[in-house]
Structure 1
Amino acid sequence: MSRTTDNNSVEQPWGWLVTAAAFTVHILSLGFSWSTGVLNAIFLDTFDDPALDISWVGTLLFANMLSSGVVAAVFINKYGCRVTTIVGGILASSGLVLSFFSPNIYFLYFSLGVVSGIGGGFSFLASVTMVTHYFDKRRSIALGITSSGVGFGQFLFPALIRWLYQSYDWSGVLLILGGVLLNTCAFGAIFRPMELPKTIGMNDDAKEEERQQQGLHCAVFQNPGYVCMCLNNILVCMGLATIYIHLPAYGESLGIDGNKSAMLMSAVGLANLLARSLIGVVDHYLTNRTFHIYAITFVLTGISVMLMPVTSNYLMQMVFAVMFGLFSGGFGALLSLILAQIVGLRHFATAYGYILLFEALGTLSGGPLAGFLYDITQMYDASLYVSGSCLILSATLVIVPYRQSCRATDGLQIQVMEEIMPMNRYKPEVS
């Protein structure tokens, strides 16, 4: 079966507008979420609670954003990406507004960590799913552009948060950010639903499979490559969470000014922005190298993290932050491509929803562990070494899905291709 082109292709001009909207949704959802390390440093200066207790705010935000992917997948399969994104935007904004009234750090667990976290997860998964289904031949480029919104958000939000903090207290900052994140709804409205094949003419087995798409099922866990990617994501998020939650506080622990420490996070975001777009383009032209690029980037990411404790010099810390941002860009740019390849597009939303649950497990482990080690040692060195080790180890788990993808004659791979090709015929609704 050949790929469809011209008028029957899903790669219509509207798809690039969808990509631009998804890019912005990534800025507002993941870009903000991955910048909460700046808020973590502010909370450390504001509250008298231990670093471990305070770190749970950002950790719960990440964890709920990721773990909500399972529920978000059900919403996507039943109501579509547009509705799911708008619901996510409302929840994310509402959580930040509620945080304005927070009397202590523990209320922020619920308002910022749970409500805003779930909202961000809904918007994120819906935007990734929408772009993945809109593109075929240029999918890696479109997803690279989309995921680079995370880097742009990481560059934008730390500076914005510190600037707002000069004029308002922490609660006023959160209230303003609540208004900013409400814009997610406007961009989600651009996600025109896809016209999916109906059950007319299907046999009973096909109709039953179609009904299963409206909910969740565990068939993806019969795929060994997918299981390895779940384990890979646990280790990756254990390593990433340490940096995203604690990097500004780590900079301040070295005696670096708070504004300069926030710039470390902005440097990560800017480098990540460039890397995700570049990696998407490189993967488009380097055929069958997705798994190689993905694994290599995490070895290099781990090395950059383990180099941080070597010196307290601010310029060198900035260099390591840029290295981290560049190499970790492979995560957002390539994960969707790998999942689409090993499970097929028909199961993509469900597979991504489940894998976000494993990412939440990694985040729940990595962030608090780093705070716990700091409370014991009053230094972040041990946390950074553990983080780097997890990132390097995660690269070894890519071997199984890579070898599976190479067996083009394997029955599972044939099934995946049969699922992918019909999905390429889906086109946007005209109305």
Structure 2
Amino acid sequence: MGDVYLERMLSNANMNRAYVSAIFSLLESITLGSAPISTVFTNTFGCRRMTIIGSILGSIGFFLSRWYFSVYYYYLTIGIIGGIGCGLIYLPAIVSVGYYFEEKRSFAMGIAFCGSGLGTVAFPFVMPWLIDKFFLNDYKNGLLFESALILTCVLYGFTMIPLPIEPSEQRRLRLKARSEMTRQIINQKSNINTQNNQTNESMNQYDSLPFLMTSANNVPNEQRRLPEDRRHTTIPFQNTSCIDGNANNQNDRVWESRPYLSSPHRYSLVNRLTLYNSTLIIAGVAAIFAPYSGSHILPHLIYATFFGFFTGGYVGLTSIITVDLVGIDKLSNGMGIILLFQGVATAIGTPAAGAMRDAFEAHARPFLWPYFLFGSLVALSGAILFALPILRRRDQNQQAFYEPPLNTNDLSH
């Protein structure tokens, strides 16, 4: 976005490049840094609602920026309001793909992240052409067009049908179960007051009632097999067991599908993690050599191809590795923490790189040290992650050592 609007905004502002470029740095930083807030709301209200709310909020931010020009005003409208809105869209868009796909999750995530790459390639060419041809060479009309594009995400939000695996849906089921339990208890008390004989008879039979549960709807199966005069007594106990048992059953299914190192699926995790770490290291090394591209276009194209290809690899694998490590039920929480640190790094790294570039402006390669530092940190992060399987195996061994053995004789009594 900075490639499209930076020069045009500079021509209208009486400030240097650092102040104006901070608009777009703030937008990206808040988009990523607001991920923990987006996580809380997504877990509570679901991907669909938060995508719709984020689309409306982000659209309002860009819409307001059309009618008044000030760099500080843009900090608020584009950077903060637009950033929070885009953050509420971004995280649900990632985690919803993980919820919808299980067997082909990696492939689905790759397709989803391709959209960002296509937009990054197309917009620097399309937007200037639209501004020059259709928007009277006024970038403010382009911001209005961006507002309309963001608003279209409302339509995509409506397509995110809630699934039972989503934390928001599990929370809704638990609340529904509690409500049903309370209502049935009230009905039971009324029946107890009017039918004492039937209640006393049923109280003697509590331990022998068969409760067959369905984890999705929280209702007893084959309840019709019970005598008519004892059916109402099954509901409170059924709902009491269902409140926690349904959530535990849901978590058990997810737990069994997690590819821990001790499971038969451990090699899939190791292979994906190795690929993820390798893409980080290669992208970092490519960034280190970027300042040596010179003035010819071909070396820059080679660098951009290498860096873009391997950067896309680890970006697409981030959510997949997160599912492998924490499970699908904690995907939104894990991605929220990861995006928060990315947002902090963006907020710090962008001005730091600019300051280093200004400090070494007199040198033949002023970007040498910023690229060297950036590339070295990226490669180092990939190398550090190779220790992750060892740490996970140690934690599992410690957990197995301290976990007390299950005494089946105690349970039988």
Report the TM-score, using the length of structure 1 for normalisation: 0.65
What's the counterpart of residue 288 of structure 2? 306
Say whether the 8 Å CA contact 1:88–1:119 is kept in structure 2. Answer: yes
Q: 5 Å matches for 1:49-64?
A: 49-64=15-30
Structure 2 residue aligned with 1:190: 159
Which residue matches 1:39? 5
Query: Structure 1 residues 59 and 351 mapped into 2: Cα distance closer, same or farther (>3 Å)?
Result: same
311, 335, 340: which one pairs with 2:318? 335
Query: Could you say which structure has the greater relative contact order, defined with CA pairs below 8 angstroms and 6 or more residues apart?
Result: 1
Structure 1 gaps, min length 5? 1-34, 214-224, 226-284, 414-431
2:90 and 2:162 map into 1 onto residues whose CA distance is: 16
- Name 2:77's counterpart in structure 1: 111
2:120 corresponds to which residue?
154
- Paired position in structure 2 for 1:68: 34
Task: Tell me what 1:386 maps to.
Answer: 373
Q: CA deviation at 1:408?
A: 9.6
Instruction: Determine the C-alpha separation between the residues in 1 that align with 2:140 and 2:389.
Output: 47
Could you tell me how far 1:45 is from its partner in structure 2? 4.9
Taking structure 1 as reference, are residues 360 and 412 closer, same or farther at Cα in structure 2, changes over 3 Å only? Answer: farther
- SS of the residue corresponding to residue 333 of structure 2 reads helix
Stretches of structure 2 lacking an aligned partner (at least 5 in a row): 178-238, 252-259, 261-266, 401-413
Q: 1:322 to 1:41 in 2, by over 3 A?
A: farther
Counterpart-to-counterpart distance in 2, 1:40 and 1:47: 10
Cα offset for 1:120? 1.0
C-alpha separation between the residues in 2 aligned to 1:75 and 1:329? 28
Contact 1:36–1:58 (CA<8 Å) still a contact in 2?
yes
Give, in whole Å, the separation in 2 of the partners of 1:169 and 1:369. Answer: 31
| Residue 204 of structure 1: how far off its partner (Å) | 10
The structural deviation recorded for 1:38 is 3.7
Deviation at 1:72, TM superposition (A): 1.0
The alpha-carbon distance between structure 1 residues 162 and 315, as it changes in their structure 2 partners (threshold 3 A), is farther
Structure 1 residue 375 displacement after superposition = 3.3
Residue in 1 aligned with 2:91?
A: 125
> Are 1:55 and 1:371, in contact at CA under 8 Å, matched by a contact in 2?
no
Query: Partners of 1:411 and 1:147 in 2: how far apart?
Result: 37
2:358 is the counterpart of 1:375: yes
Q: Cα offset for 1:331?
A: 2.6
Query: Where does residue 16 of structure 1 map in the other structure?
Result: none
Instruction: Give the Cα separation in 2 of the matches to 1:316 and 1:46.
Output: 34
TM-score, normalised on structure 2?
Answer: 0.68
Maintained 8 Å contact 2:34/2:87: yes
Task: Judge conservation of contact 2:269–2:321 (CA < 8 Å) in 1.
Answer: no
In the other structure, the counterpart of 2:104 is 138
Instruction: After TM superposition, give the deviation of residue 125 of structure 1 in Å.
Output: 0.6
Aligned to 1:169: 138
Q: How many residues align?
A: 308
Counterpart of 1:180 in structure 2 is 149
* 1:148 CA drift (Å): 1.3
User: Is 1:396 the equivalent of 2:386?
Assistant: no
Partner in structure 2 of residue 346 of structure 1: 329
Q: Partner of 1:266 in structure 2?
A: none
| Cα distance change on mapping 1:41 and 1:309 into 2, 3 Å | farther
Note closer, same or farther for the CA distance 1:353–1:287 as it changes in structure 2 (3 Å cut).
closer
Aligned to 1:23: none
**Is the 8 Å Cα contact of residues 81 and 127 (structure 1) preserved in structure 2?**
yes
- Give the letter for the 1:340 counterpart: V
